[in-house]
Amino acid sequence: MISPMEVRKLGIEGVIEFTPPVHRDRRGLFCSAFQRQTFARTLGKPLFPVGQVSHNISRRGTLRGIHYTATPPGMAKYVYCPRGRVQDFVVDLRVGSPTFGTSESVTLDEDSNRALFLPVGIGHAFLSTSDDSMVLYVLSGDYVAGNELAVDALDPALGLPVPQGYDHIRSDRDLVAPTLAEAGERGLLPEYAACREAEARLWQ
């Protein structure tokens, strides 16, 4: 029988943290980073139908994000770090959301195997604080490059507590990503109502 997970609702509406028990012995460890019954009991519905499972591996100091998907179609995610350690950031980019512009920071690592559920319209970023950190994503849809957008993770207005003392290795796309205000002015941010509608369609 799988042991129960710890569940915590973060300060961003709809974002949930799941921390599983980790069983260790002389061979290593075992954990179940997703548990269907706990997820369904917490959200009142099962995990979205899975469209894709992806992962990346990042050098120490790599800063990825803030990434999000245009809505429609939108994308929900279940994210965790089975190897290494990252400082993870989630940002509410949904215009009209009661928590719009709010951010949260959580450590995801191979010791805790903590996971996050991110509803449609939530931006995601992380800084890898160890070499070869792996972040795994369970996604509600297919990755389509033209639908993937970014906001600057170092936007002073957001004030993400990105750890200092790292090189902040970033992609070309992330280096030129707009600030939150610029993205809003360009009409690039998703509307809260559209995100809720897109999320409801995931289970249809």
Q: Where in the sequence numbering do the catalytic residues fall?
A: 67, 137
CA pseudo-torsion sign 110, 124, 166, 159: negative
CA pseudo-torsion sign 88, 13, 9, 32: negative
Name the phi and psi angles at 27, rounded to 5.
-85, -25
Are 15 and 195 in contact by the 8 Å Cβ rule? The answer is no
User: Distance of alpha carbon 86 from its chain centroid, rounded?
Assistant: 12
- 58 token code pair: 């990042």
- Amino acid present at 112: S
Q: Which residues of 29-52 are buried (b: 16+ CB within 10 A; e: fewer)?
A: eebbbbbeebbeebeeeebbeeee
Name the one residue in this structure whose structure tokens are 């980073």: 33
- 92 token code pair: 């509410």
